[in-house]
Amino acid sequence: MRREWLASKEHAHTCCSKLHSKLEGPGEIVIWKKITSIVILLVALLLVSCDTRTTKTIHSPASDSPTIGSPLARVVYAQPDFKTHTIYATSENTLKNAGYIAVDNHGGFYVADYDNNRLLHFPQTTATGAGLQADKVYGQPDYTTNAVGKDAAGLNRPHGVAIDPNGGLYIADMLNNRVLHYSATSTIADRVYGQIDFTTTDSNPKGLSSSTLYHPQGIAVDSTGLYVADSSNNRVLHYPVGSTIADFVYGQGTPGNSQANFTSNASGNGATGLNNPRDVAVDSTGLYVVDSSNNRVLHYIPGNPTADRVYGQLDFASTSVQANQGLDNPTAATLDNPTMVALDKQGALYIADRNNNRILYYAPSISLRGNDPSAVRVYGQKGYTTRHSSTTDSTFNGPGAVAVDNTGNVFVLDIFNQRVLKFTTSLHVTGHPPMSIARGSAFEIRVTLQDAGSGITYTDFKGPLTVQIKPGTGRVGAILSGTVTVNAVSGIAIFSGLTINQAGSGYVLTTSSPGYASAETNSFSVSA
Protein fold of 73-424: Neuraminidase (2.120.10)
Cβ-contact 111, 413 below 8 angstroms: yes
Q: What are phi and psi of 219, to 5 degrees?
A: -140, 155
Residues 502, 479: Cα–Cα separation, whole Å:
7
230 DSSP β-pair partners: 216, 235
Count the helices and strands in the chain (H runs, E runs). 3, 36
Q: Smallest Cα–Cα separation from 220: which of 306, 160, 276?
A: 160
Q: Check residue 45 and give its pLDDT.
A: 41
Q: Domain residue spans in the chain?
A: 73-424, 432-526
Q: Which CATH class is domain 432-526?
A: mainly beta
Residues 293, 190: Cα–Cα separation, whole Å:
33
Residues 145, 140: Cα–Cα separation, whole Å:
6
Residues 6+ apart with CB under 8 A from 129: 74, 75, 76, 81
Strand order in the sheet with 436-438: 436-438, 524-527, 504-507
Characterize the bridge pairing of strands 436-438 and 524-527. parallel
Angle at 50 between CA 47 and CA 52, to 5 degrees: 105
Neighbours of 222 (CB within 10 A): 17
Q: What is the Cβ-side half-sphere exposure of residue 503, based on CA atoms within 13 angstroms?
A: 3
Q: Supply the Cα-derived Rg of the chain in whole angstroms.
A: 27
Torsion sign across C-alpha atoms 21, 22, 27, 30 = negative
Residues 301, 158: Cα–Cα separation, whole Å:
28
Note the helical H segments in 22-103.
26-50
Q: Is the peptide bond before 71 cis (omega within 30 degrees of 0)?
A: no
Note the helical H segments in 150-262.
259-262
Characterize the bridge pairing of strands 75-77 and 129-130. parallel
Q: Check residue 367 and give its pLDDT.
A: 63
Neighbours of 327 (CB within 10 A): 15
CA distances (Å), origin 486, targets 20, 208, 463, 490, 511: 62, 53, 7, 13, 11
Orientation of helix 2-21 relative to helix 26-50, angle to 10°? 150
Torsion of Cα atoms, 499 then 503 then 505 then 511, to 10°: -20
229 DSSP β-pair partners: 236
Residues 6+ apart with CB under 8 A from 400: 98, 99, 100, 339, 340, 352, 354, 413, 415
CA distances (Å), origin 302, targets 9, 279, 282, 514: 43, 15, 9, 24
Q: Is 183 helix (H, G, I), strand (E, B) or coil?
A: coil
Q: What is the pLDDT along the chain (528 residues), one digit of tens a residue?
A: 433 333 343 343 434 333 333 333 333 333 333 434 443 334 334 333 333 333 333 333 344 467 788 899 999 999 999 999 999 999 999 999 999 999 998 899 999 999 999 999 999 998 899 999 999 999 999 999 999 999 999 999 999 999 999 899 999 999 999 999 999 999 999 999 999 999 999 999 989 999 999 999 999 999 999 999 999 999 999 999 999 999 999 999 999 999 999 999 999 999 999 999 999 999 998 999 999 999 999 999 999 999 999 999 999 999 999 999 999 999 999 999 999 999 999 899 999 999 999 999 998 876 676 788 899 999 999 999 999 999 999 999 999 999 999 999 999 999 999 999 999 999 999 999 999 999 999 999 999 999 999 999 999 999 899 999 999 999 999 999 999 999 999 999 999 999 999 999 999 999 999 999 999 999 999 999
